[in-house]
Structure 1
Amino acid sequence: MTKPPPTVRDLIRAHYSALTQSERKFAQALLDSYPAAGLASITIVAANAGVSTPTIARMVQKLGFKGYPQFHQALLRELEAKVSGPTQRRANWASEAPATHSLNRFAQAVTQNIEQTFANIDSARFDAAARLLADTDGRLYLVGGRITRALADYAFTHFQAVRGRVTHMTSSSATWPHYVLDMAKGDTLLMFDIRRYETSLMRLAEIATARGVRVVLITDQWMSPISDLATHTFNCWVEIPSAWDSNISTMMLLEALIAAVQEERWPATRERYEELDALFNATRLFQK
């Protein structure tokens, strides 16, 4: 299975150093409102960015496109991929499925997703996010969406053992104002949001950041709009030969963060583990 082609966003970042000042102006305008800023005609896009049409034409060629129409089509395909539902995703995979067993195709896709995800994680950004998640001067809140709420629940089970002051927000957005009521500057909110991105999560991020809460976002390769508000954003590759997206690479990144937070707080975390084990023994919850 071949690797997915780079997004326009990826191409801009890879070629940014080769762009002129006016080309960078358009590139920044596109990244600030991605991909909407590039979906109109070249004349409208140029006017909105305050650059000339030749500037845009030169830049898209530097990114590897023959011309603006191909650049425009690439953005449209990304937008279509963002909003596609299960039926369309299944049709896409069915039309391209190799003639091998589904187990092999699934394993190849998952392995590729994991490799792509970890290849695109900046270690310094990862370490900074781990320090935020480990900071008990503020509370840590966790929340997921319709599918990713299972990840938030998994994260809560582990982070509650690793550190204190952890709150798992329920999956019902109607209850979220009760949690926001106690949020304060210096708190951290770990959010999971993959396509189709949920408007309720976006609104929660807006309200939380307005209160000084730092957001750590785990999303997919197309990037939730919450990334515009997040202190740290991590992209996980999620496509598999299925009508559904996969959470395997997302889970691996989450477990890596949990392990990093554990090490960041050791030996305080070791004391919590020992006390927790004593409580498990007292309740006789597990067999010896």
Structure 2
Amino acid sequence: MAHGTLADDIRQRLGELSPAERKVARVLLSAYPSSGFETIAIIAERAAVSAPTVLRFVARLGYHGFPEFQAALRAELDERSASPLALYEAIEDNPSDDTASGLLARSGKVFSHAVTQTLAETPAADLESAIALITDSKRRITLVGGRFTHLLAQYLGLHLMQLRGDVHFLPGGDVERTAALAQLSRKDVVVIFDYRRYEDDKLSIAQLTQEHGGKVIVFTDTWLSPTSAHAHVVLPSRVSTPSPYDSLVPTLAVVETVVAGVVTALGEAGHRHMKHSEDTARRAGLV
């Protein structure tokens, strides 16, 4: 069974599947997770395969039948839609050690494990694809985040601005945002941060980018934002934390890893851009 989500497991197993089973996988991933609740007959029809092929695919994932597969998907959705209030109510009422030292020990264990697992589960090919898109000088980079994750979008964007040109944040105002989205084209890379209790506007942004021929990079949790269905690259992170709020610590580790890769990939060009930025800031009295 998967350590992350069913979608993670499906993506990781694509290379092991038969051509017919890969058709089933693509149908499920194209509208994940809702596609998993269709009947076997409908999934088979959409994939242009037989019903037994769907059952073989499910068995390949380790499930003893389609009902067990859908039960696992329902359990995943319960976690996927959990609010901070629900997570708060699920926290252990009386931790074995509620001192500051106990909290530090628990936090160290939780965060260390989450970061280690996140980086271990990130496919090298996906990281390489993200870095290649971000360092392509012919492309325009636009970043957007959510309630809390806009902080990570800004963090990544500010680093990229020091290393290359044509990096922007998606405006917040309606008129400005509409104008920016109306100009999307094949040269655009839109980087989206979207975590559970996913935001509808992020899905619309991903759809618009894909429809206009642009590429989408999604930073999300292990349950996968709906934007993932329209993404060229998906970088999931674990969100384990001692509090009722999902942690962004593992995502920050992935962001830092992407920045390190971008610095290496840009090489001397990145160094020249950074030096020019420093010189400009100095002349403008900003440093």
Q: If the TM-score is normalised by the length of the shorter chain, which range does it land in?
A: 0.7 to 0.9
The farther-off stretch of 176-185 and 231-240 is 176-185
Alpha-carbon offset, residue 284 of structure 1? 5.1
Q: TM-score, normalised by structure 2?
A: 0.84
Determine the C-alpha separation between the residues in 2 that align with 1:93 and 1:180. 41
SS at match of 1:94: coil
Is 2:47 the partner of 1:49?
A: no
1:112 and 1:172, CA in 2 relative to 1: closer, same or farther beyond 3 A? farther
| Cα distance in structure 2, aligned partners of 1:7 and 1:129 | 21
**Does the residue aligned with 2:91 lie in a helix, a strand or coil?**
helix
Which residue of 2 is the match for residue 221 of structure 1?
222
- Relative distance call for 1:243 and 1:122 in structure 2 (3 A) is same
Show the counterpart of 1:169: 170
> Kindly tell me: are residues 262 and 16 of structure 1, through their superposed partners in 2, closer, same or farther at Cα, counting changes over 3 Å?
closer
Map of 1:194 onto structure 2? 195
Deviates more, 1:100-109 or 1:15-24: 15-24
Quick one: which of 71, 74, 96 aligns to 1:73? Answer: 71
* 1:144–1:171 Cα contact (<8 Å) kept: no
Amino acid aligned to 1:265: L
CA contact (8 A) 1:173 1:200 kept: no
Instruction: Say which SS state the counterpart of residue 92 (structure 2) adopts.
Output: helix
| Aligned positions of 1:2-41 closer than 5 A | 5-12=3-10, 26-39=24-37
Distance in structure 2 (CA, Å) of the matches to 1:35 and 1:275: 46
What one-letter code is carried by the residue in structure 1 that aligns with 2:88? R
Cα distance in 2 between the residues matched to 1:231 and 1:152 = 18
How far does residue 130 in structure 1 lie from its aligned partner after superposition?
0.7
What is the identity, as a one-letter code, of the residue corresponding to 2:239?
Answer: V
Distance 1:278 1:45, change over 3 A: same
* Paired position in structure 1 for 2:151: 150
Letter in 2 for 1:39: F
| Runs of 5+ unmatched residues, structure 1 | none
- CA distance change for structure 1 residues 57 and 122 in 2, over 3 Å: closer, same or farther? closer
Tell me by how many angstroms 1:72 deviates.
2.5
* Equivalent residue letter for 1:250: T
Are positions 1:266 and 2:262 aligned together? no
**Identity of matched residues, %:** 30
1:89 Cα deviation after fit: 1.4
CA-atom RMSD, angstroms?
Answer: 2.8
Q: Which amino acid in structure 2 is aligned with residue 246 of structure 1?
A: S
Q: In the alignment, what sits opposite 1:141?
A: 142
How big is the shift at 1:161? 0.6
Q: Cα distance, 1:63 vs. partner? A: 3.4
Equivalence for 2:81: 83
Query: Structure 1, residues 267-288: CA drift from partner, whole Å, max 9, x if none?
Result: 12212222333344445555xx
Q: Which amino acid aligns with 2:72?
A: A
